[in-house]
Amino acid sequence: MTVAAAHEIKTGHSSPARKRRDLTVRRRTPLVTLLPALIGLAYLVLPLAGLVIRAPWATLPERLVAPEVLMALWLSVQTATIATIACLFLGVPLAWLLARSSFRGRQLVRALVTVPMVLPPVVGGVALLLVFGRRGIVGSWLDSAFRITLPFSTAAVVMAQVFVALPFLVIAVEGTLRGADTRYEEAASSLGASRWTTFRRVTLPLIAPGVAAGAVLSWARALGEFGATITFAGNFPGRTQTMPVAVYLALETDVDAAIVLSLVLLVVAVGILASLRERWLSSGATA
């Protein structure tokens, strides 16, 4: 019965088609494409290998626990985590708005949301400075009304990170929302659930994997943020000097320190990829 089959696919029950071996005849890859492909792969892998090879392995343990490294690492983890939480609070509702409501200019809003993804981060930093700086439109008001100064503070680091990371979360969650079956929400409403209850008890659990993936992506992006941070938050050890900023500065004084810091970031990145492997890398393949 076709309906039953469709149901089975939707609910992800055992589908024999998946287990069946693919018997399609694979044609050999032509040399013309193989060569550039291999060069491309090497180009991506070699620098990372170089980083690992050049690492000062002998002094690595003590360098890792050096106060500057730990301070930068701790600040990075803290700010990236706070930024991710902020992204969740702002981004999930924004994604909802884009995926589920229809209003005039929705396409425009969607385009605006993605701008920070393609904008050079340093431009974002300048823009933030112009708005939230002491003479900025919002900044001058904050300064006079509450004596709050944002630039070159830890808060500024978080703001810069949110600015660049938020689009990643919005896009990931919006995609998941679009893929989710809205009839579950209809079922919940038919049972008398308010829109908020439906969102909290049905929609959110259903899109949880997408939200988690979006959060991890945002966290990674926030952790690696450099351009907007150094422009808007500056470079004060312990306060605004995050890992990427520390790497950049260490490069001028102590190359080994820069390598160690880079290595830490590389390990974090690989860890993130591993955690997302199921969702993002195996597109189309068996999960």
Partner 1 sequence: MMTAAAAAIAPALDARVIVDRANFRLDVSFTVAPGEVVALLGPNGAGKTTTLRAVAGLVHLSDGHVRLAGKTVDDPAHRVWTPIEHRNVGLVFQDYLLFPHLTALENVAFGPRSRGASRQRARELAATWLDRVALGHCAHQIPRQLSGGQAQRVALARALAVEPTLLLLDEPLAALDAGTRVNTRSELHRHLANHSGGTLLVTHDPLDALILADRLIVIEGGRIVQQGDAGTITAKPQTEYVARLVGLNLYRGEADGHTVGLDEGFKLTVSERCLGAVFVAFRPSAVALHRHAPEGSPRNAWEATVVGIQHHGDNLRVELGGPLHAAADVTPDAAVQLQLERGEQVWASVKAAEIRSYPVSEEALTP
Distance of CA 274 to the CA centre of its chain: 14
Of 10 and 21, which CB lies nearer to partner 1 in the complex structure? 10
Cβ neighbors of 80 (< 8 A, separation 6 or more) are 161, 219, 222, 223
| Dist. CA 165–CA 186, nearest whole Å | 32
Q: What residues from 172 to 191 belong to the interface with partner 1 (CB under 8 A)?
A: 181, 183-184, 186-191
Q: What residues from 29 to 88 belong to the interface with partner 1 (CB under 8 A)?
A: none
Of 201 and 277, which CB lies nearer to partner 1 in the complex structure? 201
Number of residues that bind partner 1 (CB under 8 A): 28
Tokens 């790497």, residue? 247
Distance of CA 202 to the CA centre of its chain: 25
Chosen residue from 194, 273, 280, 282 binding partner 1 by CB under 8 A? 194
Q: Is 200 in the site for partner 1 (CB under 8 A)?
A: no
Chosen residue from 202, 216, 217, 259 binding partner 1 by CB under 8 A? 202
The region that residue 25 occupies, defined by phi over 0 for left and psi between -120 and 50 for alpha, beta otherwise, is: beta
Q: Is 16 in the site for partner 1 (CB under 8 A)?
A: no
Q: Please, what is the minimum distance in Å from the beta carbon of residue 180 to partner 1?
A: 11
The backbone torsions φ and ψ at residue 211, rounded to the nearest 5 degrees and listed phi first, read -65, -40
Q: CA 122 → CA 117, 166, 232, distances in Å?
A: 12, 16, 9
Q: Please, what is the minimum distance in Å from the beta carbon of residue 182 to partner 1?
A: 10
Q: Is 287 in the site for partner 1 (CB under 8 A)?
A: no
Structure tokens at 79: 């700010």
User: Which residues of the chain form contacts with partner 1 (CB under 8 A)?
Assistant: 1, 3-4, 6-7, 10-13, 181, 183-184, 186-195, 197, 201-202, 205-206, 208
